[in-house]
Structure 1
Amino acid sequence: MDGSHGKSRTDGRLLNLNPMVSVHDDVFDAATADHAIALARDKLQRSGVVGFSGATESDARTSHHAGLDQWSDPVLTALVERLSALVRLPPENAEPIKVIRYHGDEKFDLHLDAFSGFTPGVAEALASGGQRLFTTLCYLGDTDAGGLTEFPRLKIVVRPRLGRVLAWSNTVPGTDDPHPDSVHVGHPVTDGDKWVLSVWWRERLFHVPRDYPAEAGPDRII
């Protein structure tokens, strides 16, 4: 269990060019998915949306999530390093991992991942690592029904599948402006649970291993 798989691959299918949307199958195995879920399960808390009073609960986003530090766990480290090849950015540009669970009718309505000028604290966010250029969404299991990820403006709908990674760009090429066509929605499952692992990728170094004591994570040379 090292974040790899016998058929792991970083090639994929390009679904849209601008914004870039691609899907990659067999990137990781069931053991990696189970490991991430096990680490997150006891840490789950209600997801929120960012408003003018900070992150608050909202009917627009009803999932539960847990934050994990990829550098404190070798399995997660290996997975993030594999994801970095998909977006062609250094692993250190990744934000800390979010593992998200959708249960029953939990959902995430239409939204953008990039920071916008209307987001409180956007200046501080951009000063620390820059804009969220890419998102990589890892599906940690199949769903029996529902749980689709949809880009309505692009007419793209992606089904959850174990080992699948959905990657997309969040900004207008050559700018920090959110790409309006990257707006997307996480539909509720109609049976069982949907588990995903999300990693957002910044313009610059954001979360680097040397910020932490050596005993907190795997040995790395930077």
Structure 2
Amino acid sequence: MTESTTKTAKVPDQDALARVGKTVRERLDADPKAYKIPSEKAEIYAIGEFLTSNECRKLAGMIDQVARPSSLYEGTYKDGYRTSYSGNFDSSDPTVKMISRRIDDALGLPGKIGETMQGQRYLPGQEFKNHHDYFFPSEEYWKQERKNGGQRSWTAMMYLNNVPAGGATAFPTLGIQIAPKAGVLLLWNNAKPDGSPNVNTLHAGTPVESGAKYVITRWYRTRKWG
């Protein structure tokens, strides 16, 4: 889908996305630990020391246990677009429940609209090329995702380790690159304040050049997930 099509198409969940966006924006703006990354085109925040070093090590070990070659929604990207390893955590695990609630509290959102945390591992040469986290209603997968909680609103990404070289989270249209730093929680709104998709949230996990990169992502919908 092109940017012009995104702008002109009817936007599912637009009012809900605007409401969720406002809730999180006000929550983060009032949080002294949250840093707003300067940008007029997208809402991106970071919270340092969100996880302890022990939590980071434990979660990285959990990723090693569930990691499988990463998949993509059918028909959206070509082979080689996402070459990392990933896996969903057990949502009933005490550690997963604790960290999930901590993220929910940071955003001021009910846990029921958050997807299960997914762990990702990138080894040298692995990457996730430019993509958006929000769903394209024109694609076949939307029929199912609409029933599974609707459109994605905010993305919460936690870095579990420092990467010796490469592995940045890049927002090419914004000219922003964020290097992985252990314990940091990175947050961004996939919609504009009016609830329409924000094409400027195009982002990539750049290739790891040295070492490994461990991250955890939790996506939020507009209504109860699943």
**Aligned AA (2:35):** R
Which sits farther off after the overlay, 102-111 or 116-125?
A: 116-125
The correspondence for 1:11, drawn from 10, 21, 33, is: 33
CA distance in 1, matches of 2:148, 2:208: 35
Give the C-alpha shift of residue 10 in structure 1. 7.2
Residue 62 of structure 1 corresponds to 83
Corresponding position: 1:117 with 2:137: yes
How many residues are paired up?
A: 195
Give the C-alpha shift of residue 17 in structure 1. 5.5
CA distance in 1, matches of 2:32, 2:111: 15
TM-score (norm 1): 0.81
Is the Cα contact below 8 Å between 1:10 and 1:86 reproduced in 2? no
Residue 47 of structure 1 corresponds to 70
CA distance in 1, matches of 2:90, 2:70: 18
Once the two structures are superposed, residues 94-125 of structure 1 have per-residue CA deviations (whole angstroms, 9 ceiling, x without a partner) of: 10111000001000000000001233221321
The correspondence for 1:194, drawn from 213, 216, 220, is: 213
Residue 44 of structure 2 corresponds to 21
Identity score, percent: 26
The correspondence for 1:138, drawn from 143, 148, 158, is: 158
CA distance in 1, matches of 2:77, 2:69: 9
Residue 89 of structure 1 corresponds to 109
User: Any gaps of 5 or more consecutive residues in structure 1?
Assistant: 1-8, 208-222
Q: Which has the higher contact order (CA 8 A, sep 6+)?
A: 2
The correspondence for 1:152, drawn from 141, 148, 172, is: 172
CA distance in 2, matches of 1:205, 1:115: 16
Instruction: State the 4+ residue runs in structure 1 displaced beyond 3 angstroms.
Output: none
| Residues 97, 122 of structure 1: alpha-carbon distance in 2 compared, 3 angstrom cutoff | same
The correspondence for 2:127, drawn from 99, 107, 110, is: 107
**Higher strand fraction: Structure 1 or Structure 2?**
1
Residue 186 of structure 2 corresponds to 166
Give the C-alpha shift of residue 167 in structure 1. 0.3
CA distance in 2, matches of 1:153, 1:86: 27
Is the Cα contact below 8 Å between 2:46 and 2:186 reproduced in 1? yes
SS in 2 for 1:89: coil
Q: Please provide the CA RMSD for this pair.
A: 1.9
SS in 2 for 1:104: coil
SS in 1 for 2:66: coil
Is the Cα contact below 8 Å between 2:167 and 2:209 reproduced in 1? yes
**Aligned AA (1:50):** Y
SS in 2 for 1:101: strand
User: Any gaps of 5 or more consecutive residues in structure 2?
Assistant: 1-30
Residue 54 of structure 2 corresponds to 31
Which sits farther off after the overlay, 92-101 or 118-127?
A: 118-127
Give the C-alpha shift of residue 77 in structure 1. 1.3
Is the Cα contact below 8 Å between 1:46 and 1:57 reproduced in 2? no
Once the two structures are superposed, residues 139-185 of structure 1 have per-residue CA deviations (whole angstroms, 9 ceiling, x without a partner) of: 0111111110011111111110110011001123333x421001001
